[in-house]
Structure 1
Amino acid sequence: MPVATGMTTLGPVGAATPAFGTTDSAAAVAEAVRLEELGYATVWVPGGQGDNGALVPELVRATRRITVVNGILSVDRVRAADVAARYRDLAATHPGRWLPGLGGAHGARPLATLSAYLDELDAVVPAAQRVLSALGPRMLELARDRARAAYPFLVTPDYVASARELLGPDTGLAVLTTVVADPDPVRARDTVRSGSLRFLAGVPGYAANFRRMGFTAADTADLSDRLIDGVTAHGDFDTVVARLREYRSAGADQVVVSLDGLPREWQRDLVTALA
């Protein structure tokens, strides 16, 4: 598997958890410390409607080695000047510990919007220290040219293989994956259908990417078994690990596991299994 040199400090498995989206910063800090002790090398702070970067300095200062990444800061809502100021402060005291994850450009020209935003950051936040949310080929190309890594969600291993080919060997690829710890496939799929997929399936960017991956309009509209099985991991522990290894084998440098609802022992054992 290609090894992206830009991803060497992020490790093979990252953690995303609702705890980092809470307004209770003490709970979020405690969770970051716990995940660091379990062996996670990277924690991903979930996106939102506002500036979720405000929690970042607390997470960085409370931990010793983990990398903190936003997944993602919306460039439509968070000023580039604010990202640059926060990055400058943390780089002075904790260099390399925070990577701004950026995306969320909407409107008529999202690619141009994001490119202009990156232009504003260039003087302070180098390309090697930022991550871009990316699904389509043009966004992946932008990540290749102007970021350390691309960060897709709800994708198949085949998509990962294609993305790796487009990105080349020197740009990282961190894939956010929904995991359901349930050996009953019917129940597991129902759990997925009740989550974020039912909202995201109608978002134009995700819908277009489902089509590119070969899913039909009916798959997307019905949240079919085929779609769910294609873009998530569910089953018992060994089945989930095998599935996540498919993403790694296809070219993902890091699998970012959504820990919501996962047993505590799984959260620990996944680090060892995917190392």
Structure 2
Amino acid sequence: MNDFGRYGIWISRKHWPDDAGQTASAAQELESLGFGTIWIGGSPPDDLLLVEALLAATSTLKVGTSIVDIWRSDGARLAASHARIRAQFPGRFYLGVGSGHAPTAEAMGELYIKPLTRLRDFLTDKLRDVPRDERLVAALGPNALAAARDLTAGALPYLMPPAHTAQAREILGPDRLLIPEQKVYLGTDRDQAHQVARRMARTYLAMPNYTKALSRFGLNPSDLTGEGSERFLDQAVIWGSDDDIRAGLNAHLDAGADQVAVQALPLDPTDHLPRSEWRRLAAILMPVSES
């Protein structure tokens, strides 16, 4: 089932430039570097035009959404976009969706009540025409992972350690896709690595979905408050030597992942495509993936 390759790239939609030529160039470079998939985060819009542009610019690269937030999405429009892209690029697009977080739902005038029920209904009603083997779920807890197993091709965990990957594989079983996201900082300076990690942590540690899931894997409330403890930061963002980076990513593969969706976090916080980091990652990882 897995022809994704060992490593994909996770990148938020907000980092992609408006210029079509720059977008195409970046996608082509990722394909040439040997990455199997681009995973688009940040809840891309229902029209999925970025997905279409990335696929059109490449020949073998797969593209997935990680994720489309169901609270922001019009299901009918999303399903129609999937059908349009599937017709043009069969077998190369995976529609990842998720139940998001309370602030998102409330911003849309919704109450964040029974999000998993809402997600199940979205999959079985709004996305009923999307083939099961072409849709995935952003799943963290056991119940969400069970829904991914029962209703989709698999799961796209985010911000979780390899121990979660192992547990997720047990719940999903052997025949579902499991593609966790993992953040990396390509440097050996501890202070810089923690600076980058804290910038990320402020957002996610304010969301109970993440803190509840993380607390199942050896982290306590003091680790998951504010910008996070050093123990959390070192788990959430891999950094160090090339061997450290490689080992940290491969720990997910060893725990049962089919692919790791690597999110490179540059020291510069400006929104941009981290193309130099992607090149460095390829140099670190691809000899291993080809051996």
TM-score, normalising length from structure 2?
0.86
1:82 and 2:86 are equivalent in the alignment: no
Deviation of 1:214 after TM superposition, in Å, equals 2.2
SS of equivalent residue, structure 1 residue 154: coil
Aligned to 2:153: 148
Aligned to 1:173: 178
Equivalent residues, number: 268
Identity of aligned residues (%): 31
Deviating more after overlay: 170-179 vs 11-20: 11-20
1:110 and 2:115 are equivalent in the alignment: yes
1:9 and 2:3 are equivalent in the alignment: yes
Deviating more after overlay: 24-33 vs 134-143: 24-33
String of CA shifts for 1:59-94, please: whole Å, max 9, x gaps. Answer: 111110111101111111111111211111122221
Q: Which runs of 5+ in 1 are unaligned?
A: none
Deviation of 1:51 after TM superposition, in Å, equals 3.9
Aligned to 2:189: 184
For 2:122 and 2:12, how far apart are their aligned partners in 1? 27
1:91 and 2:86 are equivalent in the alignment: yes
Aligned to 1:24: 18
CA distance change for structure 1 residues 24 and 252 in 2, over 3 Å: closer, same or farther? Answer: same
CA contact (8 A) 2:47 2:78 kept: no
Deviation of 1:52 after TM superposition, in Å, equals 7.2
Aligned to 1:272: 287
1:126 and 2:131 are equivalent in the alignment: yes
CA distance change for structure 1 residues 253 and 49 in 2, over 3 Å: closer, same or farther? Answer: closer
The root-mean-square deviation of aligned C-alpha atoms, in Å, is 1.9
For 1:235 and 1:73, how far apart are their aligned partners in 2? 32
For 1:87 and 1:52, how far apart are their aligned partners in 2? 9
For 1:173 and 1:274, how far apart are their aligned partners in 2? 18
For 1:38 and 1:20, how far apart are their aligned partners in 2? 22
Instruction: State the one-letter code of the partner of 2:224.
Output: T
String of CA shifts for 1:212-256, please: whole Å, max 9, x gaps. Answer: 122111101151111122233111211110111111101111111
String of CA shifts for 1:131-179, please: whole Å, max 9, x gaps. Answer: 1101111111111111112111111111111111111101111011110
Deviating more after overlay: 222-231 vs 95-104: 222-231
CA distance change for structure 1 residues 61 and 119 in 2, over 3 Å: closer, same or farther? Answer: same
CA distance change for structure 1 residues 19 and 267 in 2, over 3 Å: closer, same or farther? Answer: farther
Aligned to 2:230: 225
Deviation of 1:127 after TM superposition, in Å, equals 1.1
CA contact (8 A) 1:143 1:150 kept: yes
Instruction: State the one-letter code of the partner of 1:159.
Output: H
For 2:58 and 2:187, how far apart are their aligned partners in 1? 32
Q: Say which of 56, 61, 66 aligns to 1:66.
A: 61
String of CA shifts for 1:100-129, please: whole Å, max 9, x gaps. Answer: 110134511101111111012454211110
CA distance change for structure 1 residues 224 and 105 in 2, over 3 Å: closer, same or farther? Answer: closer
CA contact (8 A) 1:99 1:131 kept: yes
Instruction: State the one-letter code of the partner of 2:79.
Output: A
For 1:225 and 1:129, how far apart are their aligned partners in 2? 38
CA distance change for structure 1 residues 225 and 125 in 2, over 3 Å: closer, same or farther? Answer: same
CA distance change for structure 1 residues 260 and 188 in 2, over 3 Å: closer, same or farther? Answer: closer
Aligned to 1:200: 204
SS of equivalent residue, structure 1 residue 219: coil
CA contact (8 A) 1:17 1:45 kept: yes
CA contact (8 A) 1:65 1:97 kept: yes
String of CA shifts for 1:187-231, please: whole Å, max 9, x gaps. Answer: 31222112x221101101001112112211110115111112223
CA distance change for structure 1 residues 143 and 25 in 2, over 3 Å: closer, same or farther? Answer: farther
Q: Say which of 92, 95, 111 aligns to 1:100.
A: 95
SS of equivalent residue, structure 2 residue 24: helix
Report which structure shows greater RCO (CA 8 Å, sep ≥6): 1
